[in-house]
Amino acid sequence: MKKWVYPLAVLTFITFFVLRVTYQSNVIKNFDTKMADLFFDNRFLELFHYIGEPVFVVSVAIILIVYLAWKVGNYRAILFVLLTFAGGNILNQLLKKWVHRPRPEIEAQLTSFSFPSGHAMTGILYLFTTAYILSENNSKGRKTLLWLGATILTVLIGMSRVAGARHFASDVLAGWSMGYTWFIICVIWYERRKRHFKTINREGGHLH
C-alpha cells in the first residue's frame, strides 16, 4: 500500500478520541443537528443501510474465505479477514459499551448504544478488506476501481445511518475513523507476515 496510508491511520485514531471527548460539546451537537437536517429521510441514502447489515457483511466474509481457501490458498489472508471483520466488530461493541452514548430520539429506535456507528465501522472494514484482497496481483486500473468503489460505498453506508436517524453524524465519523485505524493495524500485521514468509522461502531456496 501507499506510504501515506499509515500516518493517516494515526490521524484517524486521534480523530476518534477527539470525537470521544467532544461529542457532548456544542460544536459537535450543532454539527450533528445540521447533518441530520440535511440528510434525514433521504430515501436514496437509506437504501445503502442494507449492505452494512450484519447478514450481508457475514456473507461477504464467507465468500472471501472460500475464495482465499480454495482458489488462492492464502491462509494468512483468511486470518486477516477474520481480524478485520470479526475483530473489528468485537472492538466496535467494546467501544459502544465504553462510551454509552444514547442514540437519537426517534420512535422505534434501536436499543444499543450509538458511538461509534457499527455500520460505519464494519462497513469501512469489510469494504476496504475486500478491495485490499482483490487488489493483490491485479492491474493498476482495476485496483483504482476497487478502491474507488469501496470508498464510495463506505461513505454511503455511513450516511444511511444519519438519513435513517439511527446515528448522529459524529457517530459515523468515529466509526470510519476507528474502522480505518483497525484496518491499517491489520494490514501492517498481514504485510509483515507476508514479507517474513517470503524471506524464509528465499532462504530455503538458497539452502537447496
pLDDT tens digits along 149-179? 999 999 999 999 999 988 999 999 999 999 9
Q: How far apart are CA 124 and CA 198, in angstroms?
A: 29
Task: Please state at what angle helix 169-207 crosses helix 26-39, rounded to 10 degrees.
Answer: 90
Domain residue ranges in the chain: 42-200
Cα dihedral 101→159→39→97 (10° resolution): -10
Residue 80: per-residue pLDDT? 94
User: Which positions of the chain have pLDDT values less than 70?
Assistant: 196-208
Rounded to two decimals, the pTM is 0.89
Q: Looking at residue 15, what is its pLDDT?
A: 97
Instruction: Give the pLDDT confidence score for residue 198 in this predicted structure.
Output: 65
How far apart (Å, rounded) are the C-alpha atoms in residues 188 and 194? 10
